[in-house]
A and B are shown apart, each in its own frame.
Chain A
Amino acid sequence: DAGVIQSPRHEVTEMGQEVTLRCKPISGHDYLFWYRQTMMRGLELLIYFNNNVPIDDSGMPEDRFSAKMPNASFSTLKIQPSEPRDSAVYFCASLAGTTTDTQYFGPGTRLTVL
């Protein structure tokens, strides 16, 4: 099993540009999570999906952020327009089921907005 896959691993962009982060969950996992990690705010849950349907997006910071999961093997997190304060490491995680399993994190995408 390849684990959770994220791309790109590093992204440097200029303020105002659109940024798209990608995630492929572990095959067979029904849940997918997007987290943001910064020194100031720690590890924050942005949004999560169950069977491709968004369940809770209360952590999405503002309308500039959007997430989609068009199928069971792919999700995107988009920031448009990006701002320097969006600089962070963005992790994707997946979970098979809520009763006995746990969340497995991807390697993360380090985003720098200049």
Chain B
Amino acid sequence: GENVEQHPSTLSVQEGDSAVIKCTYSDSASNYFPWYKQELGKRPQLIIDIRSNVGEKKDQRIAVTLNKTAKHFSLHITETQPEDSAVYFCAASYNTDKLIFGTGTRLQVFP
């Protein structure tokens, strides 16, 4: 079955710097890669997703890149702000049903 590895487990950055979180997946049939943000005590919320027919997607300060050959995808957050502090999860699936989640990255943005 699918296995998703996520790195780093924790990431600390200064406000205004960029943050990059990387994930690798094992099943080459996976074609859907969402990223969720989870604030303390809250539900995971989708922040961006990418499907295997594109290599990059942007939404304001957030971007995701996908390398199907290498089976890895990354989340890029530019101009980080304190409110970006949260746990970020990547996931992979064939279509959007059975999501397999990474272990999460705790991002701390210091003012």
- Distance of A94 Cα from B99 Cα, bound (Å): 12
A105 and B44 contacting across the interface, CB-CB below 8 Å: yes
Is A25 at the interface (CB under 8 A from chain B)? no
Binding site for B on A (CB under 8 A): 31, 33, 42-45, 48, 50, 55-56, 91, 95, 98-99, 101-108
Please judge, given known A-B contacts A42-B103, A102-B49, whether A108 and B43 are in contact too, CB under 8 Å: yes
Binding site for A on B (CB under 8 A): 34, 36, 42-46, 49, 89, 95-104
A107 and B43 contacting across the interface, CB-CB below 8 Å: yes
A43 and B95 contacting across the interface, CB-CB below 8 Å: no
A-B pair count, CB < 8 Å, reads 46
Please judge, given known A-B contacts A42-B103, A42-B104, whether A105 and B97 are in contact too, CB under 8 Å: no
A33 CB to closest chain B CB (Å) equals 8
- Give the chain A neighbours of B100 by CB distance below 8 A: 45
A103 and B101 contacting across the interface, CB-CB below 8 Å: no
